[in-house]
Amino acid sequence: MAYSRITGLGYYVPDNVVTNNDLTKWMETSDEWIQERTGIKERRYFEFGKDTNYSMATAASRQALDRAGITADDVDVIVYATITPDYFFPGSAFLMQRELKMDGKPVIDIREQCSGFVYALSIADQFIKSGMYKTALVVGSEIQSSLLNKSTAGRNTAIIFGDGAGAAVVQATSDPAHSILSTHLHADGRYAEELYMKDPGSSRERPFSKELIDEGGFNVFMNGNAVFKHAIVKFGEVIQEALTANGYQSSDVNLLVPHQANIRISDYVRQQMGLSEDQVINNIQRFGNTTAASIPIAMAEAWEKNKFKEGDLVCLAAFGSGFTWASALIRW
Ligand code: COA
């Protein structure tokens, strides 16, 4: 029986730091409001002409490959999560595959919003467990800054999101004691319109008309309250599901890596689980919410800072648009 193990982590964030005070140039808001409601102090925005969704993913992947001690030639499949691809189609995985000179190797583009990385990890895990592939490159990458409405009308979403990419190399192992123990995926389309970007929708009569731009369908819409209320429940549920499936309880967890949605959501989950501040990774203060990239960036940073070691029980948990929610339990 094959198991899968994360053998390398990497991340890339653009150099361009945008503080809360910078945002006040474009919209009515304040550093105090943003920090109090979300925990965010600054985020990164891509630099046009320098960063692209796939170039950031490639940089993160190269770092993950180096750290795993392998090259792109050794990778059997790419699973790439993003809601902000470079092109409408084909997906950014193709562009990264070309950059890494992996011609002929399969690529899978998925969306799944803020749960995208955990979904992608689960897909890689199943490929490896089934014996179909031995090495997968799992990526989350987002350029969201160019798609945000940075006027006062868009301030409830524009303050939250940032750009960046993270990647993990996942490889087959025969050792279940150091492997991904389980993954748990959920979705509920009844809430699709609580956090979404409507346009350019293919079912529109004239998807690219000026009227639709004026209507605001090209801006992210979020019912912040509904997202908040569901997130605090679903994070707890899906973490418990992972623990129960493996016969563990909260006190067995060494490190929780939550999707970086909002510091208040992370704090609530941390308190529910009885974990210390040290046991929960939070970098939303510096990077904002980078959607599919947030968990691999947080994991890669935590790894660099020696926040976890071999044998630790690490839990990943996500919630996002869809709604989607997901978890993964890893014995490192
Ligand atoms: N700066 C200043 N004021 C703002 C603002 C901003 N950036 N955004 C909204 N406001 C105002 C609103 O206009 C409203 O004003 P009013 O009372 O005069 O109408 C007031 O602040 C309260 O707005 P509300 O939307 O109720 O705020 P909130 O306390 O719910 O906080 C969020 C808003 C977005 C921070 C909060 O709902 C949240 O964190 N939700 C979860 C979001 C999330 O995690 N998303 C990612 C999911 S993966």
Assess whether 156 and 234 both reside in one domain.
Answer: no
Tokens at residue 25, please?
Answer: 């140039």
- Higher-pLDDT residue of 137 and 205 is 137
- Computed over every residue of the chain, the mean pLDDT equals 97
Q: Are residues 164 and 118 in the same domain?
A: yes
* Whether residues 147 and 295 fall in one domain: no
Amino acid found at 33: W
Flag whether pLDDT at 208 surpasses 90: no
Q: Based on the fold, state whether residues 230 and 131 are members of the same structural domain.
A: no
Mutate to test the pocket of ligand 1, among 156, 191, 235 (most ligand atoms within 8 A of CB): 156
Query: How far apart, in whole angstroms, are the C-alpha atoms of residue 150 and residue 214?
Result: 15
Instruction: Looking at the structure, tell me whether residues 157 and 11 fall in a common domain.
Output: yes
pLDDT of residue 92: 98
Q: Please confirm, yes or no, whether 184 is among the known catalytic residues.
A: no
Is residue 300 a contact partner of residue 166, using CB atoms and an 8 Å limit?
Answer: yes
Distance (Å) from CA 224 to ligand 1 centroid: 6
Domain count, the chain: 2
Regarding whether 194 and 66 lie in a shared domain, the answer is: no
Last residue of a domain, one of 112, 141, 173: 173
| Residue 190 CB neighbour total at 10 angstroms | 9
Could you tell me the residue range of the domain that residue 145 belongs to? 3-173
Which token pair is 126?
Answer: 């199943």
CA of residue 184 to ligand 1 center, whole Å = 30
Query: Is the predicted pLDDT of residue 215 greater than 90, yes or no?
Result: no
Last residue of a domain, one of 134, 154, 173: 173
Residue 45's alpha-carbon distances to 51, 160, 308, in angstroms, are 9, 12, 29
How many other CB atoms are there within 10 angstroms of residue 330's CB atom? Answer: 25
> How confident is the model over 289-309, as pLDDT tens digits?
999 999 999 999 999 999 999
Chosen domain end from 120, 144, 173: 173
The answer on 294 and 260 residing in a single domain is yes
* 234, 309: one domain: yes
Q: How far is CA 21 from CA 43, 154, 260, 262, in A?
A: 11, 16, 21, 19
Write out pLDDT tens, residues 72-103. 999 999 999 999 999 999 999 999 999 999 99
Task: Tell me: do 265 and 129 sit in the same domain.
Answer: no
Of the pLDDT bands very low, low, confident and very high (cuts 50, 70, 90), residue 216 is confident
Distance, in Å, from the CA atom of 176 to the CA atom of 73, rounded to the nearest integer, reads 26
The enclosing domain of 325 has a CATH number of 3.40.47.10
57-71, 154-168, 208-222: least confident range: 208-222
pLDDT at 186 over 90: yes
Q: Are strands 164-173 and 313-320 parallel, antiparallel or unpaired?
A: unpaired
Q: What is the DSSP string of 230-280?
A: HHHHHHHHHHHHHHHHTT--GGG-SEEEE--S-HHHHHHHHHHHT--GGGB
